[in-house]
């Protein structure tokens, strides 16, 4: 009888452990891992598409269409060009993580049309940095409406051309 009880307890423990492992496979999502990023060629004027960021700035904003990439890590990466009313230009290579509404700066453009590494390159929430008008517009209305990333670079380009995500207003 004692052997019978021990055997039943052992079977019960094995069954419970198996259920826990099976349950954990679905309950615990795998941690997000950022993929390595390759810098694109420096933006060229003929590949730029402008987009409106609203009345908060007089700067003009452009995305280099050839630089738009969607990684396996669900980050949309692109080159951003900002031109001031006096003609000064700032160029950057950035990424947006739609799921978390975050932005990361990967590289800054230099006058000799090469890339340099920024002092700080980390993920930051877009709603905490007041000056990121362009990135918020890209994330909220063009590249990630409803925190869902566009399907491919072509869809992102269509959204830029229309000034809105193509599936919001058809």
Confidence grade of residue 28 (pLDDT, cut at 50, 70, 90): low
Hey, where are the domains in the chain? 45-162
3-state secondary structure of 147: helix
Q: Which residues of 137-167 are buried (b: 16+ CB within 10 A; e: fewer)?
A: bbbbbbbbbeeebbeebebbbbbbeeebbbe
What does pTM read for this prediction? 0.77
For residues 45, 49, 51 and 56, what is the CA-based torsion angle, rounded to 10 degrees? -10
For the stretch 73-119, pLDDT in tens is 999 999 999 999 999 999 999 999 999 999 999 999 999 999 999 99
Check residue 163 and give its pLDDT.
77
Instruction: Taking residues 156-164, report their average pLDDT.
Output: 87
Say what the alpha-carbon torsion angle 138, 60, 114, 65 is, to the nearest 10 degrees. Answer: 50
CA 76 to chain centre: 4
Q: Residue 43 and residue 162: Cα distance in Å, rounded?
A: 21
- Over its C-alpha atoms, the chain yields an Rg (Å, rounded) of 23
pLDDT at 147: 87
In this prediction, residue 2 carries a pLDDT of 54
Query: Quick one: pLDDT band at residue 167, thresholds 50, 70, 90?
Result: very low
The tens digit of pLDDT for each residue in 29-79 reads 779 899 999 999 999 999 999 999 888 888 999 999 999 999 999 999 999
DSSP code of residue 145: G
pLDDT value, residue 119: 95
pLDDT at site 166: 43
Contact criterion met (CB below 8 Å) for 142 and 159: yes
Strand partners, 94: 78, 105
Q: Give the CATH architecture of domain 45-162.
A: Beta Barrel (2.40)
Question: Per mean pLDDT, which range of 13-27, 87-101, 115-129, 138-152 is the poorest?
Answer: 13-27
């Amino acid at each position: 009888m004692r052997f019978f009880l021990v055997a039943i307890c052992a079977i019960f423990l094995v069954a419970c452990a198996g259920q826990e492992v099976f349950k954990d496979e679905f309950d615990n999502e795998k941690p997000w891992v950022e993929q390595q990023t390759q810098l694109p060629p420096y933006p060229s004027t003929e590949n730029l598409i402008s987009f409106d960021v609203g009345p908060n700035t007089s700067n003009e904003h452009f995305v280099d269409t050839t630089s738009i990439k969607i990684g396996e890590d669900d980050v949309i990466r692109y080159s951003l060009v900002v031109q001031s009313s006096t003609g000064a230009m700032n160029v950057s290579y950035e990424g947006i993580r739609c799921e978390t509404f975050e932005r990361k700066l990967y590289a800054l453009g230099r006058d000799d049309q090469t890339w340099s590494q920024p002092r700080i390159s980390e993920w930051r929430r877009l709603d905490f940095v007041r000056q990121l008008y362009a990135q918020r517009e890209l994330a909220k209305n063009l590249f990630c409406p409803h925190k869902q990333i566009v399907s491919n670079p072509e869809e992102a380009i269509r959204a830029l051309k229309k000034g809105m995500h193509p599936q919001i207003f058809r």
